Structure 1
Amino acid sequence: MVVTVFPSLVLAPSRWELLNHQMNLTVSLPTWEAVTAVMAGEDWATRQLRTSYPRFDIHNYVRELQDAVLARFKYPVQTVCRAFPSQEAAERFVARLQKADPAVSAHMARFQLPREALPEMANWAAFSVVLFQENHEEVAFEFWEWFGDGISSRHAEFCVSLFSFMNSDSNHSEYRTVGPASHDLSAMAIPEWIDFSTQDKMDIKSRLAGSATSADPALKPVGNDDVFLYATGMAAISAIARTLARTSEDSGAVVYGWPYSGTPHCVQGCGFKRYTMYGHGSKEDLDTLESSLILGTRCTALFCEITSNPLLSTPDLHRIRALANRFGFVVVCDDTLGTSVNVDILPYVDVIITSLTKIFSGAGNVMGGSLMINPNSHHYSSLRAHLNKTYEDLYFPLDAKTMARNSSDFAARVHKCSTTALQIANLLKSHPSVESVNYPTMVPTATLYEQYRRPDGGYGFLLSVFFRKPASAVVFFDNLDVWKGPTVGTNFSISIPYSALAHAKEQDWAAAHGVPKHIVRLSVGLEDYGDLAERVSRALQDVEMREK
């Protein structure tokens, strides 16, 4: 696999080595022009792409598996295949296609090893596919991006290695096939990483549970069994959203604040009868929500983030908790950016969602997500019962092994990145070309963040900066000597013009909710402050030169 490199990108070898890996999760987009060109689908940019963030594109190993399926079925070129780790995920994908076009022609098939294969091997070698016409690609990619149900690259690589032994089954006879290869599968050695996967997953759960447990001794600690692991953070969000949407025939969801761009799409698409977004995350938004609830509007769940991406604002969890207790809804909070190392939110929320892909892993080479149910929640028993009934462990063992290894120093890395990020935020804020910096200490909700910050907690690794002149933002980004691309929370600093990437088709709408078109997001890594400050200062000097 080749990481995308545009001609203008220059990286020091040490930083290149961090990403020169077949399972890397990001892509090099070194200039503002490159970002906008890729998002616009311009040929000069897209033809250079070799990989991307796995939910934004089809990973090479996943593509290889899907191509093998198409070859087995001898399908024409215009047919598209998508691979999923379970039949249920494939069925959700078909339902999404059918919702967009009831007349869609979509067929499912299940691939698995013959019966003589050892159960441990057969379980992880199995996968499902959906075949459909390429004119439905836009809806298909939306599902792939927003719901996180696609097969992982490591899982796909494993399935490719055994594909010739696999048989396929389907409701349609033309998709029932027998693998061309023969082998005594009962004698096949079970990989070590399958044997150790239970322990790897327990290590991850224990780390998450211990970190999220409240400092308040009156509250029950989070147990390992209260943590559910998923292949992606979006899969965790969609799992709890589907669960809550099914609890009532009159279910309603609220997204409060300005979250990650995919979250509203995910929540809205999970079956709630009503969906409302309060995108400013303000006191006035909570006033409006309260008035609506008083008038009888039903709310089943409220989704929020601490802190929000990319505005770094903090929700008023005290008031949200009071409203939840009064009106009976579930509070789901994503702590990916704030992290459980920095903030103690267990007294106020019912469910904590985390994208483990980000700083929990840090290495930028594995996906993962978690869902934690608060054992102190009034909804605890019902949520556990619903999830125990529907949960599928689809977290591929090699992904779990990588995540367990990467996250062993999670807390130490959070402290280091948070300390440096605060210093960089102060450096940027002091520059005359900068209009404002979004960081938990510098936004209107700063006092709220302090209420949830742990005694030894910092303010997080992420910040965003808004320049007085749009052209200055472009100059700063183009000349900032860090990795440029999607994702955050990596051990190396990484930056992107956020709105141009996340809201490429809706930048005016995002701007109306406080996300300027020329906002630059910076995720601070493990570099020493002096090193990173020098790079930021050089980019600011280029801004000064351009503004003269």
Structure 2
Amino acid sequence: MSTPSQEVGTPIPANTAHAISVTLPTWKATVGYEEGHDWVVQKMNLGYPRFFIHSIVQDLAKRIETKYGRQGERCMVFPLYKVAKRCREFIKEKSEDKTAARRVLKLTTPAPVSDADLSSIIECTIACVIFPLADFAIAKQYWQHSGEGISSRMAEYVVKELFEKEGKDPSRVHSRHKQELQAQQIQRKSPSISATIRSNSLSQNEGVDLEFNSFIEQKYGRVLDLKFAKHAKIALRRRISGNAGHASDLKNNSDTEPLKKRGEHISEDDVYLYPTGMASIFNAHQALLNIFEPAKKSVCYGFPYVDTLNILRKFGPGCIFYGHGDDESLDELEEGLLTGEIDIMGLFCECPSNPLLKTPNLPRIRELADKYGFAVVVDETVGNFLNISVFPYADVVVSSLTKIFSGDSNVMGGSLILNSSLPLYEKLKEYFTSNYEDNYWAEDALYLERNSRDFETRSMKVNKTSLAVVDLFNKSPLISHVFYPSLSESKKYYDAIKTSSGGYGGLISILFGEPSDAITFFDAINLHKGPSLGTNFTLACPYTILAHYTELEEVAEWGVDKNLIRISIGLEDEEELLETLKKSLEGCGKV
């Protein structure tokens, strides 16, 4: 197992310009990041992209401010005009100054002028919200919550096309793309994306056809030919629709039998790609706000990832929060629906939840939705659609493709799937047909397509290793609680939706009996340490400190302890990983 960097601010993976995670190697460094201490923040030029605006994106924003802004103005850059307008309205709504000038500027890069240009040039439009400096914190909230900000790769391309080409040496400007094209001349000999499109799940014979392609890509770099971006997106939608349609793989259960047919086929036309997983959730919520007239509150069932709750609270009429996500919560919800005290447009939940790994009772939630006419939106990121089949119970299934679907921690992405078997489908489909605009950046799609080809193999290995790690933690006298779907009181609900070949996933949370041991263990552990999950390498973080530092007392009410450590299991050799974890436990001095 390679030695992970323990230097503050190092990208994870190392030497990766568009890395998704960043090294926060100690408990103190994580607190320092949350408190904005210079000794941490000044060493970082990237972080998790929704929370820490990438240095390339910051550079683009500064160039736009210099060229188009007025003194004291800032800007936030988005890939769609309507997204920028939404941000502007959010700023206006939340700002104390309702009269300040806030405007949206559209900029478009040059289109290709020859066939040769198609490999490296693509016409794209960005939309910049320009606002007073005092509004920046509010604009940053929109960036974080919605997940709709411009990606660092798109920003890099726009900087080159709109700023660096003007009056610059053409040979220098095109140097990066010349290198890419040299690799592409070799890659074009093997139509890897086309081969992937022909089948969602490659058989062994098809794998032989792609063996040479894999060698070429590993030797000469990723597919960076922009003209293949549309094909990559088709491949992604087909791969997602094929893997998500696992309802027929549910274990034989009389309670689930009537619902099986709801997931036997998912059309790729009902799969929508977004720049982030949070953008998928945000747009699912936007859809419900539009198809329910008047818009109603939503339910957030179970303690979710932080920005899911922020979306439901800050956009639209608000939400009702059942943070425990247990049967008693459903009893309370059902009573409110029955008496008319509660009238909702949708219920949002995670399956299982992050970080407590609780599984909702989806069959019962579906029964309530059918009876009272609300939508069910399920985020299956943590479980992943190879392990569990939530589709029969959900009107909308959302997922962060940034996580295990990609694995490489170098590209963001999200998906949203509509269930054509449920009553709200027609209204939802009409909304997305009229309102969806593809703003997933071409290069990001190319990277994600390549990364996700071995999704199934990686998922199976992670499932197996995770069980061994859970067993290690469960036997340790130092650890007071292990959070994992197979150990939870809600295991019966997970097992009811578990696919025939599925496992319990790669996310584990732990609590130590002594809080000081949590800090000792985390500081000593020789693993990658930073935000995100589902990476091909094991990744740890003091989750509550990282995600809820300003609300530690509030989240404790929902069972999220401030000393909780979350570990996402990767592809390391199982025995080596177990030995690394054992050494860290021994460092606490109580084994």
Q: Same fold (TM over 0.5)?
A: yes
Partner of 1:424: 469
Distance 1:165 1:86, change over 3 A: farther
C-alpha distance 221-128 of structure 1, shift in aligned 2 (>3 A): same
In structure 2, what is the Cα distance between the partners aligned to 1:105 and 1:473? 49
1:105 to 97, 101, 106: 101
1:442 aligns with 2:493: no
Whole-angstrom distance in 1 between the partners of 2:123 and 2:553:
44
Partner of 2:85: 91
The aligned amino acid for 1:383 is L
Q: Does 1:518 align with 2:517?
A: no
Q: Specify which of 479, 492, 495 is matched with residue 540 of structure 2.
A: 495
Match in the other structure for 2:377: 332
In the alignment, is residue 218 of structure 1 matched against residue 261 of structure 2?
yes
Q: Deviations over 1:398-432 (max 9, x none)?
A: 00000000000111111111111111011001100
Conserved 8 A contact 2:461-2:571: yes
1:544 Cα deviation (Å)?
2.2
Q: Residue 213 of structure 1: CA displacement?
A: 0.5
Deviation at 1:199, TM superposition (A): 1.0
Deviations 1:99-130 (A, max 9, x none): 11123432211111468968989974311111
Q: Is the 8 A contact 1:417 1:524 kept in 2?
A: yes
Tell me if the contact between 1:250 and 1:298 (Cα under 8 Å) persists in the aligned partners.
no
Over 3 Å counting, the alpha-carbon distance change for 1:116 and 1:399 in structure 2 is closer
- The equivalent residue for 1:314 is 359
User: Residue 161 of structure 1 aligns with which residue?
Assistant: 160
Given candidates 225, 231, 240, the residue that maps to 2:275 is 231
Q: State the match for 1:44 in structure 2.
A: 39
Does structure 1 residue 364 correspond to structure 2 residue 409?
A: yes
Are the equivalent residues in 2 in contact too, given 1:476–1:539 (CA < 8 A)?
yes
CA distance, structure 1, for counterparts of residue 415 and residue 450 of structure 2? 16
**Correspondences of 1:24-35 after superposition (within 5 Å):** 24-35=19-30
In the alignment, is the contact (CA less than 8 A) between 1:312 and 1:440 conserved in 2?
yes
- Note the C-alpha offset of 1:390: 0.5
Partner of 1:148: 147
Tell me, in whole angstroms, the C-alpha distance in 2 between the residues paired with 1:393 and 1:117: 23
Aligned match for 2:58, one of 18, 42, 63: 63
What letter is aligned with 1:516? Answer: D
Alignment deviations for residues 116-172 of structure 1 (CA, whole Å, 9 cap, x no partner): 968989974311111222222221221111111100011111111111499xxxxxx
Q: From the superposition, tell whether residues 269 and 181 of structure 1 become closer, same or farther in structure 2 (CA, over 3 Å).
A: farther
Deviation at 1:370, TM superposition (A): 0.2
Contact 1:314 1:448 in 2 (8 A): yes
- In structure 1, runs of 5+ residues without a counterpart are 167-178
Give the gaps of 5 or more residues in structure 2.
171-176, 182-223, 249-259
What one-letter code is carried by the residue in structure 1 that aligns with 2:334? E
Residue from 445, 453, 466 that aligns with 1:400: 445
SS in 2 for 1:21: coil
Residue 238 of structure 1 contacts residue 270 of structure 1 at CA under 8 Å; is this kept in 2?
Answer: no
Residues in 2 aligned to 1:471 and 1:275: alpha-carbon distance in whole angstroms = 36
Residues in 2 aligned to 1:74 and 1:226: alpha-carbon distance in whole angstroms: 40
**2 CA distance for matches of 1:7 and 1:335?**
33
Q: Which moved more, 1:189-198 or 1:278-287?
A: 189-198
**Which residue, out of 219, 223, 237, partners 1:205?**
237
1:495 and 1:521 in contact (8 A); partners too:
yes
1:181 shift after superposition:
8.5
The superposition leaves residues 364-400 of structure 1 with CA deviations (integer Å, 9 ceiling, x where unpaired) of 0000000001122221121111111100100011000
The 3-state SS of whatever aligns with 1:378 is: coil
- 1:478 maps to 523
CA distance in 1, matches of 2:111, 2:268: 33
Shift of 1:19: 2.8
Give 3-state SS (helix, strand or coil) of 1:54's partner. Answer: coil
2:321 equivalent in structure 1: 277
The one-letter amino acid paired with 1:208 is I
Residues 37-46 or 401-410, more deviating: 37-46
Identity %: 34
User: Does structure 1 residue 73 correspond to structure 2 residue 68?
Assistant: yes
Alignment of 1:344-359 (within 5 A): 344-359=389-404
Picking from 334, 337, 344, the partner of 1:290 is 334
Whether the 8 Å CA contact 1:257–1:282 is kept in 2: the answer is: yes
SS in 2 for 1:521: strand
Letter in 2 for 1:134: L
Query: What is the Cα deviation at residue 295 of structure 1?
Result: 2.0
Say which SS state the counterpart of residue 19 (structure 1) adopts: coil
